[in-house]
Amino acid sequence: MTVRQPHRPLRATRAHHVAAAAVALLVVIVLTLALRPAAPGRFPVTGVGPRVGQRVPDLVLPDLVGHRRALTAWRGHPVAVAFLATWCAGCRDEMPSLDRARRDLRRRGLVVVGVDAVGEAPAAVARFAHAYSVSFPILLDPSSGAMATFAVQALPTTVVIGADGRIIAHHEATIDEATLRRAVAGIP
């Protein structure tokens, strides 16, 4: 004959409840951060781009009239690549500085190139360029692939490339003329 033991319910202690609640909260936080859309001006990066001192990959994108332009076309000159969007306040603020720096540093060979990094319509980008009297070329990146290639995480971002094709500065914020001049001054 089998003797049955009296049924004792499992007793959860207060510590077990606190631990379970903490784990549930952690799961909710991780899922919220992983699934939230990027805030305006911030973008998820899908890869690690070239770092300061490394060669940049070639970038071939259409300009505002549809002609394909390659970064390698400017090899031998320092190039400031300004990643921008028409809705970006910092991008609008830095346009006059970039244009002045391009004019003033032309003797040093500086080339400034804008890249609309968020796939905006060419007409909207052309209106932006006209409104801010931009005199440098702006390329269109309809797939935002250049952002991933250069590991751009925020707008505006300016990547300064030396004449040898190596990155000499990666500036993530509105760049002013003095900062750009310092970056270009370091170019051999």
10-residue stretch averages of pLDDT, the chain, 188 residues long: 58 66 59 40 48 83 94 91 94 92 87 94 95 94 88 90 89 86 74
SS3 82: strand
133 contacts: CB under 8 Å, gap ≥ 6: 95, 96, 99
Tokens 């890869």 map to which residue?
47
**Which token pair is 23?**
């784990």
SS3 66: coil
Domains and CATH numbers, the chain: 60-185 (3.40.30.10)
pTM: 0.73
